[in-house]
A and B are shown apart, each in its own frame.
Chain A
Amino acid sequence: MAFHRLSTCAVALGEKGVALNEDTHSEILLHVNGVKHCLSVDNRTTLLDALRERVGHTGTKKGCDHGQCGACTVLCDGRRVVSCLMLAVAAEGAEVTTVEGLGGDGELLPIQQEFVRLDGFQCGYCTSGQICSAVGMLAEYAEGWPSAVTAPGSEPVLDAVEVRERMSGNLCRCGAYPSIVRAVLETAARGEVTG
């Protein structure tokens, strides 16, 4: 078997260095929640699987592995991405934020507080994705990005219709949607998205 695993970075890497070894593994530096992880990954490893199986951050969930449900949403340099559709090797150099990295020191972010207070989840499986997506979405809105329901040529105004449209990539089979929308709007009303 041509398989081997490197426990530490065997090759000195620059910030963005990628070293390819003979059995299609790459050594990468993954920045997750402010911590650098030096990993030797199978090139086929998705960012989602790298986070869950290699970094040990299982807060990010796999609902479909095909970019269809949003459960695996994380932030890459502040933008929301579905981590099942991104290869770990492609996340090199990006600052990845997962649900574990949102709050600080046991403090919940306003969005997390509102999810708890307003019961924005039931089983909780979609929740990490909903919350990361909401953080990314509120940043997009703050930058003036329109959505499909924004009247052409006008400034978007964040109401329930806008939130529903912008959050539609995040499925919730428990049907917590109305509470999620309320939690997002309450957070926006508090005016402090990221704490």
Chain B
Amino acid sequence: MSGAAPAVGVARPRVEGPAKVTGRARYAADVPMADLAFGIVVVSTVTRGRIRDIDVAAVQDMPGVLGVIDHRNAPRLNPDAGHFFGPDGGLQLLQDDVIPHAGRPVALVVAETLEQARAAAEALPVTYEVLPHDTDFSADHPAGRAAMALFDGPVDVGDVDRELAASAVVVRERYFTPEEHCSAMEPHSATAWWEGERLQAVDSNQGPFFIATVVATLFSLPLEQVRIRTEHVGGGFGSKGLCGPQLVLAVMGAMHFARPVRVTLSRNQVFLTTAMRPAIEQMVRIGADDDGRLRAIHHEAAFELSPLAEYIEGCTELTKTLYATPALRTRLTAVPLDILPPYSMRGPGAAPGSFALECAMDEVAERLGIDPLELRLRNEPTVGPASGLPFSTRNLVACLREGARRFGWASRDHRPRMRREGPLLVGTGLAATSFSVGAFPSTASITAEPDGTFTVVVNATDLGTGARTALTAIAADALAVGAEKVRLRISDSDFGPAWSAGGSRGTTSWAWAITEAAAKLRSSGDQGTVTVDTAQLLNDLPSRERHSYSAVFAEVTVDPATGEVRVRRLLGMFAVGRVVNPLMARSQVIGGMIGGLSMALHEEGVRDPVSGRHINADFAGYHISAHADVPDIEADFVPDYEPGIPMGIKGAGEIGNVGTPAAIANAVWHATGSRQRALPIRPDRVIEEHPLQ
């Protein structure tokens, strides 16, 4: 064993940093390819209906056009292909003339150059039979039904109605969050080609192994015949977790034209065809005693989905674990509509769920006249309120207390509308939150090279999370060598099964496999190659409540004359297990908090009720936080260690988003005295008729 200093816990710049600041880092659309043809997707302009005709002859002779693929000549796809939640009709592209939602791909136009493909795609005449659609979401929509119970199923603990009747105060409110778009800066791109019998593709996704299994199923190919690679990925946030339309269509193009075909979605198509967070309506009832002890929480959430694919927006998950309460009831309702199938967006379930729960808690504090911080502290559970399981670690109190100290919470006057600076109202708010952690089965192999270095192969993906850098450090420590001795290879479906980057479980899943492989290699005297699969180990992990925690504090200014809300300070304290690389971890949670700020103030997919289409499906219409919206943000970590997972790590990918919207909404109430129960907190929801004098 060498005396290498530990790499885990040390702040280090990313290993791919120099490549990213010089433009050398290659993303899916950057890979050079001989004989490349370009495919442009044509999407439906109607929300429900049938294709009457696609007049291919009208574009066939345009310069450079190789041809058009539509439902009449596309390869047949296997309807069993799907994802975590079951078969996904969203993958069944160009299979029939049915239009299930606006923006559904109807054709792929392939040409020699981008310009030619785009010109032909724009010129392609598509006529439709238009059928009536329903995109009008509400919680009491008659089509609503219980959501799938794969996780976040309904919970009934104690007698909610009796406890509420016995409560000193009861808050009962509804909360609304709109359709939101992941909006990774890199539009989805795939290049597919055949090498002999093997289908090859370079694709922007969150997990090439999983994507390869979907492509193999979809095109009825043996898995060994499919190889999917990614290198650098320009963000995912959930939208690249599924096999995207770019890949399905690029593969069809490669099959049809027998040459490499690249399909890159336009920004508009990224909005229309890749995962979005569904619109959600929530009802929260909380009853509490005079002293702030909770007697009951009742949390129901309804979300929209598509009949094409199951999905669960688990809004009530954190309600089952965050506070002690003798009575608890949760329900999830799914409302099928004529929309793109929604899917996980950063902090799925938890981000909207925490907005409802933590705003309602703030209202309980207001009604009782107690410090919102104190209300949280008084309701710390000793075991999971729904599960009855012990907590593996629970450091929410440390986050709340340390965050409050740094933020200067103690000097806050808890009454609303007490601070004024010229024409502006000023307020502060907080939110507590948790995000479940764990790991999924993965494989990894490590080879001891003759020159004393180690090649570590694991099917991880680095979406900007810093996985390359973090896993290199983890492997170095597990092998007890310096990080410079580790060569990490990731993101190639040939590397074998591994969990994708998602669910805040990427790093834990991959790190587990790496540490296991390293232990085996070391016990065999650092010789040869060792390959491990963690499936069995994960089965042996005892059941516990396992979560990351955070407390978020916000200070806002509100201009009641314009309705403009600006976030002036934002502070997050996090308990995310052992921090592998403080520099990157801080970036990640700050990025999450900015995502939360953006959700609180800016983001809203708007549909035209008449056409059913999105009317703001680009970055001019759908604003995501820009430089000028974002203050300097403070984020830090309390000591934390997850005993069940190797190296004591948890995950930090999503918890940053969660909590921030509620903290901001609560600060807006504190500034103005008006509750904001619908996001985003738009100027028209805030503006006051009689400006301050």
A contact set with B: CB distance below 8 Å: 1-3, 23, 42, 44-45, 49, 52-53, 56-66, 68-69, 71, 98-100, 102-103, 108, 112, 115-117, 119, 121-128, 131, 160, 163-165, 167-181
Contact = CB atoms under 8 A, between A and B. Distances in A.
Contacts of A1: 61, 63-64
Contacts of B466: 122
B64 to A, nearest CB: 5
25 contacts: A1-B64, A3-B112, A42-B115, A58-B23, A58-B27, A62-B187, A63-B267, A64-B187, A115-B17, A119-B13, A121-B17, A122-B465, A122-B466, A122-B584, A123-B186, A124-B21, A125-B27, A125-B232, A127-B20, A171-B626, A173-B595, A174-B591, A175-B625, A177-B625, A177-B630
Interface in B609-647: 618-620, 624-628, 630, 632-633
B627 A181 contact: yes
Interface string B581-615: 00110111011111100000000000000000000
B22 A124 contact: no
Contacts of B17: 115-116, 121
Contact of B633 (A112, A170, A178): A178
Nearest to A179: B587
Interface in B145-187: 183-187
Interface stretch (B233-241, B376-384, B542-550, B553-561): B233-241
B24 interface: yes
B264 to A, nearest CB: 8
- Among A2, A127, A170, which residue has the most Cβ atoms of chain B within 10 A? A127
B68 to A, nearest CB: 15
A125 B587 contact: no
Contacts of B593: 175
Contacts of A117: 13
A44 B590 contact: no
Secondary structure of the A contact surface, majority rule: loop
Contacts of A125: 27, 184-186, 232, 234-235, 464
Contact of A42 (B22, B116, B587): B116
B113 interface: yes
Contacts of B259: none
Contact of B26 (A3, A58, A115, A175): A58
A80 to B, nearest CB: 14
Contacts of B685: none
A104 to B, nearest CB: 11
B25 interface: yes
Given A59-B22, A62-B29, A64-B267, A181 B115 contact: no
Given A61-B186, A63-B267, A68-B620, A121 B584 contact: no
B140 to A, nearest CB: 34
Contacts of A42: 113, 115-116
Given A99-B22, A172-B627, 6 more contacts: A59-B24, A68-B267, A122-B588, A170-B626, A173-B185, A179-B587
Contacts of B465: 122
Nearest to B186: A125
Contacts of A175: 590-595, 625, 630
A53 B18 CA distance: 23
Contacts of A178: 590, 630, 632-633
Contacts of A61: 27, 185-186, 234
Contact of A173 (B18, B184, B586): B184
Interface string B104-116: 0000000011111
Contacts of A121: 17, 20-21, 464
A171 B264 CA distance: 20
A81 B674 CA distance: 43
Contact of B185 (A63, A108, A115): A63
Contact of A69 (B26, B32, B185): B185
B266 interface: yes
B633 to A, nearest CB: 5
B21 A44 contact: no
B290 interface: no
A172 B590 contact: no
A171 B624 CA distance: 8
Contacts of B588: 122
- Among B29, B183, B587, B588, which residue has the most Cβ atoms of chain A within 10 A? B587
Contact of B627 (A2, A53, A170): A170
B73 to A, nearest CB: 21
B63 A173 contact: no
B20 A174 contact: no
A126 B185 contact: yes
Nearest to A115: B21
A165 B232 CA distance: 29
A176 B185 contact: no
